[in-house]
Amino acid sequence: MKIDLTGHTAVVTGGTSGIGLATASLFLDAGANVAICGRDQGRLDDATAALTADHSDRPFLAVPCDVLDKDSVAKFTETTVEHFGGVDTLINNAGQARVSKYEDTSDEAWREELDLKFFSVLHPSRAFQPHLEKSDKAAIACTSSLIARQPEPHVVATSAARAGQLSLIHSMARELAPKNIRVNSILIGVVESAQWQRRYDALPDGKPAYDDWLKEQAVAKGIPLGRFGKPEEAARALFFLGTPLSSYTTGSTIDLSGGLSRHVG
Q: How far apart are CA 158 and CA 165, in angstroms?
A: 10
Q: Tell me, what's the pLDDT at 96?
A: 79
DSSP 61-107: EEEE--TT-HHHHHHHHHHHHHHHS--SEEEE-------B-GGG--H
Q: Tell me, what's the pLDDT at 217?
A: 93
pLDDT along the chain (265 residues), means of 10: 93 96 97 96 96 91 97 98 98 88 94 96 98 98 96 92 97 98 97 87 91 94 95 98 98 96 77
Which of these, 137, 130, 118, lies nearest to 246 by C-alpha position? Answer: 137
Domains and CATH numbers, the chain: 9-191+231-255 (3.40.50.720), 193-228 (no CATH)
Q: What ranges in 133-226 are assigned the alpha helix state H?
A: 156-176, 194-201, 210-220
Q: Tell me, what's the pLDDT at 265?
A: 60
How many alpha carbons fall within 13 Å on the CB side of residue 211? 1
